[in-house]
Amino acid sequence: MTTPAPWLASGPFTVSILDRIGNTPLVRLERITRGVVPAGVEVWAKLEWFNPGGSVKDRAAYNIIHSMETAGHIGPDTVLLDSSSGNTGIAYGMICAIRGYSLTLCLPKNANRERKRILRAYGVQIVETDPLEGSDGAIRMAKKLVADNPGKYLYLDQYGNEANPRAHELGTAEEIWAQTGGRVTHWVATLGTSGSFMGTTRGLKKKNAAIQCISVQPDSPFHGLEGLKHMESAIVPAIYDPALADRDLGAPTEPCIELRKRLAREEGILAGVSAGAALWGAMEVARGLQSGVVVTLFPDSGERYISEDHLWD
């Protein structure tokens, strides 16, 4: 039986679906890297849709809500509020359904059908925001709702809440270290809220300061890498510290989408949009090495994007 993540207080047996957060599989990518990556370099990916809510965001969402509970901020009439491009909202929705909490979520109107239907299945109240403003527009709306309705909402603020990266420092980093037997030499991750990169980097650097940690973001403001932020042109998350990265790479949209298609056809891994950027970054790093163990993270499954024909045709 999988041991629950170290930041979850639970016993040896699963009594709640939340006990299944963390300890996601780490798999080696061999076919797609063959002929591109030197023979002495390994490329591995954590498949985060094995979390019960279907994405890496389960980790941060649970720790954010758990920290609010511990601090005594959630009462019987509390309405939780945050913004999301989809995955964090779904994770919140799952957790709030289990806890019996009310949740309002600000979501860009152009979020796909799969995500909206999942959110409604969990009973989430959705406030749709301007699709042209993306996740930044959802952030602005959430802050406006809080300002216009004093005392009504408890703002979870995934972009500014330190419980987000802390979940990865105590969970994801520990898992990667254990799963690689301490052999990891490079950590590569994409930037959205930046929580997974920030927290995992801190955790891995504590284990071995020589581990190189490389962030990946879109190479321009106008990109098609859903869920990722081009930091120079976006609202920068308060939890983001660019100085933490040893390097930062700008990922091009089309090659990343093509890599994502190849993942399904060559590795049997049906991954989400940002996984293409994560793989692109990992391979960029790996091809410049002679030896090493490069680890990246695939945030969600491609099943949440099936309705988006342009990503598959």
- Give the per-residue pLDDT at 311: 57
**Using an 8 Å Cβ cutoff, are 141 and 108 in contact?**
no
Spell out the residues 6+ positions from residue 183 whose beta carbon is closer than 8 angstroms to its own.
293
**HEC secondary structure over the chain:** CCCCCCCCCCCCCCCCHHHHCCCCCEEECCCCCCCCCCCCEEEEEEEHHHCCCCECHHHHHHHHHHHHHHCCCCCCCCEEEEECCCHHHHHHHHHHHHHCCEEEEEEECCCCHHHHHHHHHCCCEEEEECHHHHHHHHHHHHHHHHHHCCCCEEECCCCCCCHHHHHHHHHHHHHHHHHCCCCCCEEEEECCCCHHHHHHHHHHHHHCCCCEEEEEEECCCCCCCCCCCCCCCCCCCCCCCHHHCCEEEEECHHHHHHHHHHHHHHHCCCECHHHHHHHHHHHHHHCCCCCEEEEEEECEEHHHHCCCHHHCC
Q: How many CA atoms lie within 13 A of 191 on its CB side?
A: 29
Q: How does the average pLDDT of the chain come out, rounded?
A: 93
- Mean pLDDT along residues 4-20: 65
The 10s digit of each residue's pLDDT in 167-220 is 999 999 999 999 999 999 999 999 999 999 999 999 999 999 999 999 999 999
Any catalytic annotation for residue 207? no
| pLDDT surpasses 70 at 8 | no
pTM of the model: 0.92
Any catalytic annotation for residue 274? yes
% of residues, the chain, pLDDT over 70 = 94
| pLDDT surpasses 80 at 116 | yes
- Give the per-residue pLDDT at 3: 45
**Two tokens, residue 187:** 């950590």
pLDDT class for 2, splitting at 50, 70, 90?
very low
Give the pairing type, strands 41-47 and 26-28: antiparallel
CA distances from 216 to 172, 231, 266 (A): 18, 10, 23
Question: 213 in the Ramachandran plot: left (φ > 0), alpha (ψ -120 to 50) or beta?
Answer: beta
Determine how many CB atoms are found less than 10 A away from the CB of residue 206.
13
The one catalytic residue among 46, 57, 205, 229: 57
CA distances from 282 to 84, 182, 189, 218 (A): 26, 18, 8, 14
**Two tokens, residue 237:** 């998350």
CATH 3.40.50.1100 fits 57-155, yes or no: yes
Angle between helical axes of 253-262 and 273-286 (0-180°, round to 10):
100
Amino acid at 170: L
For the CA atoms of 269, 272, 273, 279, what is the dihedral angle to 10 degrees? -40
What is the fold of 17-50+168-311?
Answer: Rossmann fold (3.40.50)
**Two tokens, residue 87:** 């995955």
Q: How many CA atoms lie within 13 A of 298 on its CB side?
A: 31
Residues of the chain within CATH 3.40.50.1100 domain(s) are 17-50+168-311, 57-155
The 10s digit of each residue's pLDDT in 159-174 is 999 999 999 999 999 9
The one catalytic residue among 55, 194, 215, 274: 274
